[in-house]
Amino acid sequence: MKGRISKEQMAEFVREGEMMRSLKHHGIVKLLGVCVENGSFYLVQEIVNGHGNLFDYLHKKNQRLTYWQVLQIAVGICDAMAYLHERHIVHRDLKPQNCLLVNDKGEVKLCDFGLARLKNAAFVETVSNTAGTPAYQAPEMLRDEPISEKVDLYGFAVMLWEMYTGKLPWSDKNYHQMIHTVAVRNERPPIPPETPREFVAVIEQCWHPVPQKRPSFNELKTTLRDLLKSVPQDIPVPKVPNNHFSQQNQARQNPQQQQQQYYVQHQQPRAHGVVPQYHAPSAQPVLYGGYQQNW
């Protein structure tokens, strides 16, 4: 990361780095240190051996998870996220690319949870400051409204959907269509009808349009552990046909192209405190593939 900063901003960057370095949890990639030299910033993190990140595992290696693995990974994510939220740290970019698979047993490590804080602390001008992955971002975040730790619950819900279906959310839409679909139309990815009811309930709670009605990660961890007790380890989730989601683009794009469409090109950052010109209407009933869901 590069940028011209003042001594005060540099000190804030180092303070944030030290705080992130103090976090110790088996489900979080360790930040070993930060370095500031000649206007450049370096982050030193632990190396994690395993199967790579969850996105590559699902979409580039074309691996399917069993329902048990989905739940096991979900419990691990909940455990790590609960640890962060207890320390008032919001990830803000929870997605499969930031979830590393350690082994076949569902052990995971979260990464990049501190990068947004570190970049904001130093006011570093990078593409990452304005780029984003709207498929995993909560409606209130896309509308540029005040956010809380509940935005992480929304991203988690989309990850659950993706792990279960093996599909990319909103892969038939471009960046701006995705923003409109989630932030204005208040739609959600369609859940396959054969999905277990208990699992559907978890997803729907987590991507609830009202942030305050989304559960905590501690509550979810208990719920998912209870589900795990009754799920065999070797039963795969049902294969979901592409036409179930009307994903016309999926057949024409490879996973890398689909991933790239989630990112907006670099734009000039908006001055702090300036209200955006776009104003979304009040929340609409949540839709699943065109069908209304009453809350």
**Is 98 one of the annotated binding-site residues?**
yes
Task: Say whether 234 is catalytic.
Answer: no
Chain-centroid distance of CA 65 in Å reads: 18
Alpha carbon distance 87, 20 (integer Å):
11
Burial class (CB in 10 A: 0-12, 13-18, 19+), 162: buried
**Is 226 one of the annotated binding-site residues?**
no
Alpha carbon distance 175, 134 (integer Å):
7
Alpha carbon distance 98, 50 (integer Å):
14
Q: Annotated catalytic residue: which of 56, 79, 93, 152? A: 93
Burial class (CB in 10 A: 0-12, 13-18, 19+), 7: exposed
* Sign, Cα dihedral of 201, 207, 213, 214: positive
Residue where the block lists tokens 């599909």? 167
List, as own/partner pairs, every contact residues 14-20 make where C-beta atoms lie below 8 angstroms and the sequence separation is at least 24, other chains included: 15/121, 16/114, 16/117, 16/118, 16/121, 17/43, 17/114, 17/118, 20/114, 20/117, 20/118
Asked if 236 and 64 count as a contact pair (C-beta separation under 8 A), the reply is yes
Active centre residues (catalytic): 93
Give the residue numbers of the binding site for Mg(2+): 98, 112
